[in-house]
Amino acid sequence: MQPEAKPTLLLTRRLPENVMARARRAYTLVGPEPADLPWPRERLVAALAEACPEAVICAPGDVFDGAAIAAMPRSLRILATFSAGTDHIDLDAAKARGLVVTNTPDVLTEATAELTLALILAAARRLGEGERLVRAGGWQGWTPTQLLGLRVSGKRLGILGMGRIGRALARMARGLRMEVHYHNRRRLDPALEEGAVFHGEAESMLSAIDILALTAPGSDALRHWLNAERIALLPRGAVVVNTGRGSLVDDEALIAALRSGHVAFAGLDVYDGEPALHPGYLALSNVVLLPHLGSATVETRDAMGFRALDNLDAFFAALDPPDRVA
């Protein structure tokens, strides 16, 4: 008896080796060898047309807009993204095409919350400046006034987006005796708030905090949410960090606030139009810039890949994928 043919799978990116090994066992990999960086849109469309896969695992940066989805071969039945966010996929176009789309929620929560807290500490304590000073050979010894930053313990933390990541960050922040405030579309159940102060209006939260953490997902409604008017409501000397989406921030407004000192320090892991970023940030010493490391731990990236494969396994077993978003 011939063994049952395995479903065909195209990977748009090279995934962690443990994930690649499992994918090879369960699926027939087709298409060009994936690389670390996204293919240009034209090559992505061409690779799909040539390989005619039944499934694809993609990642942020892979453009699956309406035109790309319309050009997909009819063989393609499911698109699993190696991410919690789906803003790189036109979900309405996918639904119209009858394409199932899944994501990888939950598994990156703790890692991204850790990175957010790390950015708060790195920005407020000027760790980037200190590390650069030592590497450049400019450190001449301890002085009472060198690179004075801000103590984080006991400060008032405001969180935009009290989802899984925001709540995990709040739990970590309480270990530093931080007072947690948050703004959401709607108030959480008290059991999920765990004592955090809800602000129905963003303006109320901004004027009540010392540190602002942006952990919300991107959307048209939140584009450039942190603009000049809202920055002006922060107390002078505030700290701003963003691990949500780059589109949440009006870059010109934040750069102006960093230059003036109204925002003392910032930490960014995501950028509007990344991997490009506003060149104005590069000239500022009071901002920590990271290359989208939010979920970058071995454990988390393996879990993300396994979650994507779990969704494919369920689909090809004629079950509803657990993380279906379209």
Predicted local distance difference test score (pLDDT) of residue 2:
60
Tokens of residue 181, six digits? 């405030």
Q: What is the mean pLDDT of residues 92-118?
A: 97
Tokens of residue 276, six digits? 């490009």
Q: How far is CA 222 from the centre of its chain?
A: 15
Same domain, 115 and 227: yes
Q: What is the mean pLDDT of residues 13-23?
A: 98
Q: Which of 115, 234, 148 is nearest to 183 (CA)?
A: 234
Predicted local distance difference test score (pLDDT) of residue 1:
53
Predicted local distance difference test score (pLDDT) of residue 244:
96
Percent of the chain exceeding pLDDT 70 equals 99
Q: What is the mean pLDDT of residues 221-235?
A: 97
Q: What is the mean pLDDT of residues 98-108?
A: 97
Question: Does residue 324 lie within any of the structural domains?
Answer: no
8 Å CB contact between 298 and 310: no
Same domain, 162 and 53: no
User: What pLDDT, in 10s, does the model give residues 123-167?
Assistant: 999 999 999 999 999 999 999 999 999 999 999 999 999 999 999
The C-alpha angle 260, 264, 267, rounded to 5 degrees, equals 120
Same domain, 77 and 36: yes
CB atoms within 10 A of CB 53: 25
Same domain, 95 and 114: no
Instruction: Tell me the CATH number at 200.
Output: 3.40.50.720
274 is catalytic: yes
Percent of the chain exceeding pLDDT 90 equals 97
Tokens of residue 291, six digits? 């290359």
* Whether pLDDT at 3 is above 90: no
* Whether pLDDT at 4 is above 90: no
Q: Which of 246, 238, 285, 295 is nearest to 268 (CA)?
A: 246
Same domain, 230 and 127: yes
Same domain, 32 and 120: no
Tokens of residue 213, six digits? 């953490």
Same domain, 126 and 185: yes
Catalytic residue among 199, 245, 301, 307: 245
User: What pLDDT, in 10s, does the model give residues 191-204?
Assistant: 999 999 999 999 99
Same domain, 273 and 202: yes
Same domain, 74 and 115: no
Predicted local distance difference test score (pLDDT) of residue 19:
98
8 Å CB contact between 268 and 288: yes
Same domain, 122 and 51: no
Range of the domain at 225: 109-137+146-289
Which DSSP symbol is given to 246?
G
Residues whose CB is less than 8 angstroms from the CB of residue 210 and which lie 6 or more positions away in sequence, other chains included: 150, 155, 156, 157, 235, 237, 238, 239
292 is catalytic: yes
Question: Does residue 326 lie within any of the structural domains?
Answer: no
Catalytic residue among 292, 301, 307, 324: 292
Catalytic residue among 22, 88, 274, 278: 274
SS (H, E, C) 187-222: CCCHHHHCCCEECCCHHHHHCCCCEEEECCCCCHHH
User: Which residue carries 């530093």 as its tokens?
Assistant: 176
Same domain, 38 and 129: no
Tokens of residue 194, six digits? 């765990």
As for how many domains the chain has, the answer is: 2
Same domain, 165 and 253: yes
Q: What is the mean pLDDT of residues 265-293?
A: 97
Give 37's pLDDT tier (boundaries 50, 70, 90).
very high
Question: Does residue 322 lie within any of the structural domains?
Answer: no
Question: Does residue 2 lie within any of the structural domains?
Answer: no
Question: Does residue 3 lie within any of the structural domains?
Answer: no
